[in-house]
Amino acid sequence: MTETPLLDTPELAGRRVLLGLTGGIACYKAAELCRLLVRSGAQVRVAMTHAACRFITPLTMQALCGQPVFTSQWDARPHNHMAHIELGREAELILVAPASADFIAQLAGGRADELLALLCLARPDGVPLLLAPAMNRQMWQHPATQRNVHQVSADGASVLGVASGAQACGEVGEGRMLAPEQLLQCVTAALAPKSLAGLRVLISAGPTFEAIDPVRGITNLSSGKMGFAMARAAFEAGAQVQLVAGPVHVATPYGVQRTDVTSALQMHAAVMEYATQADIFIATAAVADWRPAEKAAQKIKKDGSGDTPALHFVENPDILADVALSPRAVAGQLFCVGFAAESENLLEYAAAKRQRKGVPLLAANIGAATFGRDDNALLLVDESGTQQLPRASKRVLAQRLIAEIARRLPGAAAA
């Protein structure tokens, strides 16, 4: 089962988003997207092509965004009576969802037959243009469309998706528009400060599962939420993100590469390999300290005697400590961040753990029972002392922690 991502995007409050709709059945999803943006506090303006108006009415979009909807470049309502200039000037970001094959072709050719294409062409420098294509799989795969997608990307637009699956035409394949929640993530990512631009971030997340026999094992209550929130925040900050996840039920954030593992040994192997290419390692995983010395080949059976089986354990490798000893980390090219969950003596234990693991920064959970919750509070411990990140949703806390990591990177400008 995959959980719906949290609708926790306070950073969109007051941001000015221009949502463009072109002709396609995915217009019905644009209505939901509009609602999500508005619920997140964004000020949404909507522009629709004439083809889009055949799939969904401007009235529907007007009711959802609470603003007049624009469909014509001859509309005299904007201040200077030039809708195509004024609407683009007002926006901090333009998202066209759905973007039809024809619309992408128009942009690729620099044509501007209708208001929405005019807006895209006339948008001021620095205003991101996001396109969420939606079309039949053969239209998507057609060399002309692929050429146009390549061209608009080269011209600076971000092409989002596409997703694969069942299509309205009855076919199955690539060409579906991303889900509204994913598009919301793309908008927050595009508007976020790029404090980790171009860096490669490796994150371990979730619990591990240590098998006893084919049907039993030892695990813990880690949900993976903090690690996945860190992955999302790192991607939004401009990083290339590789997540190594134990068994969790959390949706992969948009743009993040994910490798699933089960045991601590598997997590160790995957992390050590990715660490050779990373600039930052963030160890949020709750790794089992021990594993059963042997996994029984068959299910261990009760024999009716009342005897209980004895389990013998061996210690798992400490992934974080090993990464901190790897050549890139020792050379100062890989910045390592640990997490700690302590039930007592938080500061003392966290400081000792940071030293023992040989990492520059450790984030200690303040208060017990953070596992599975949607909020958290952290005490950051580094060589110069401690700093509290007050209680907040894991999403917001992850954004703050990413900013703190960026500030501490070698070569970062002093705050």
Shortest distance, position 293 Cβ to ligand C5P, whole Å: 16
Quick one: which of 26, 30, 108, 283 contacts ligand C5P (CB under 6 A)?
283
Q: Is 329 among the residues that bind ligand C5P (CB under 6 A)?
A: no
Could you confirm whether 120 is annotated as catalytic? Answer: no
Q: Which of 180, 253, 255, 338 binds ligand C5P (CB under 6 A)?
A: 338
Residue among 185, 163, 156, 176 nearest 255 (CA): 185
Whichever of 9 and 204 has its CB closer to ligand C5P, that residue is 204
Q: Report the residue number, 73 or 365, with the smaller CB distance to ligand C5P.
A: 365
Task: Give the nearer residue to ligand C5P in terms of CB position, either 25 or 272.
Answer: 272
The residue within the footprint of ligand C5P, chosen from 192, 319, 389, 405 (CB under 6 A), is 319
**Alpha carbons 415 and 398: distance in angstroms, whole number:** 19
Q: How far is the CB of 243 from ligand C5P (least distance, A)?
A: 13
Q: If binding is defined by CB under 6 A, does position 240 make contact with ligand C5P?
A: no
Q: Which is nearer to ligand C5P, 73 or 284 (CB)?
A: 284
Which phi and psi angles does 355 have, rounded to 5°? -65, -45
Burial (0-12, 13-18, 19+ Cβ within 10 Å), 331: exposed
285 binds ligand C5P (CB under 6 A): yes
When the beta carbons of 138 and 259 are compared against ligand C5P, the nearer one is: 259
**70/339 with CB nearer ligand C5P:** 339
Residues 214-233, one symbol each (x = binds ligand C5P by CB under 6 A, - = not), give --------------------
Region near ligand C5P per CB under 6 A, out of 37-45, 243-251, 333-341, 381-389:
333-341
Q: Which of 106, 188, 204, 242 binds ligand C5P (CB under 6 A)?
A: 204
What secondary structure does DSSP assign to 352-374, as a single string? HHHHHHT-SEEEEESSS--TT-S
Helix (H) or strand (E) holding 54: helix 50-55
Contact letters for ligand C5P, residues 159-198 (x by CB under 6 A): ----------------------------------------
Which is nearest to 97 in space by CA: 54, 151, 160? Answer: 160
Q: Is-cis flag, bond preceding 17, omega within 30?
A: no
Backbone angles phi, psi at 15, to 5 degrees: -75, 140
253-289: b or e for each residue (b if 16 or more CB lie within 10 Å)?
Answer: bbbbeeeebbbbbbbbebbeebbeebbbbbbbbbbbe
Tell me: does residue 70 bind ligand C5P (CB under 6 A).
no
> What SS3 class is residue 97?
strand
- Residue 357 token pair: 């693991």
- Run of H or E including 280: strand 280-283
From 27, 53, 169, 336, the catalytic residue: 169
- Examine residue 91 and tell whether it contacts ligand C5P (CB under 6 A): no
Rounded to a whole number of angstroms, the minimum distance from the CB of residue 306 to ligand C5P is: 35
Characterize the bridge pairing of strands 385-393 and 375-382: antiparallel
Cβ at position 381, least distance to ligand C5P in Å: 12
Question: Site for ligand C5P (CB under 6 A): which residue of 264, 275, 280, 380?
Answer: 264
Helix (H, G, I), strand (E, B) or coil at 299: coil
**Closer residue to ligand C5P, CB minimum distance, 5 or 338:** 338
Token pair for residue 353?
């753990």
Nearer to ligand C5P, 236 or 318 (CB): 318
Give the residue, chosen from 339, 351, 376, 402, that forms a contact with ligand C5P under the rule CB under 6 A: 339
Enumerate long-range contacts of 47-50, CB under 8 Å, 24 or more apart: 47/18, 47/19, 47/20, 47/21, 47/71, 47/87, 47/115, 47/116, 47/119, 48/20, 48/21, 48/22, 48/116, 49/20, 49/21, 49/22, 49/23, 49/103, 49/114, 49/115, 49/116, 49/117, 50/23, 50/114
Residue 319 Cβ vs ligand C5P, minimum distance, rounded to whole Å: 3
3 state SS of 298: coil
Q: How far apart are CA 177 and CA 160, in angstroms?
A: 8
Q: 230 with 204: CB under 8 angstroms?
A: no
Q: How far is the CB of 264 from ligand C5P (least distance, A)?
A: 6
Binding to ligand C5P (CB under 6 A) within 351-390 occurs at: 353
* From 29-37, 96-104, 318-326, 384-392, span contacting ligand C5P (CB under 6 A): 318-326
Catalytic residues: 169
Q: Which positions touch ligand C5P (CB under 6 A)?
A: 204, 264, 283, 285, 287, 316, 318-320, 338-340, 353
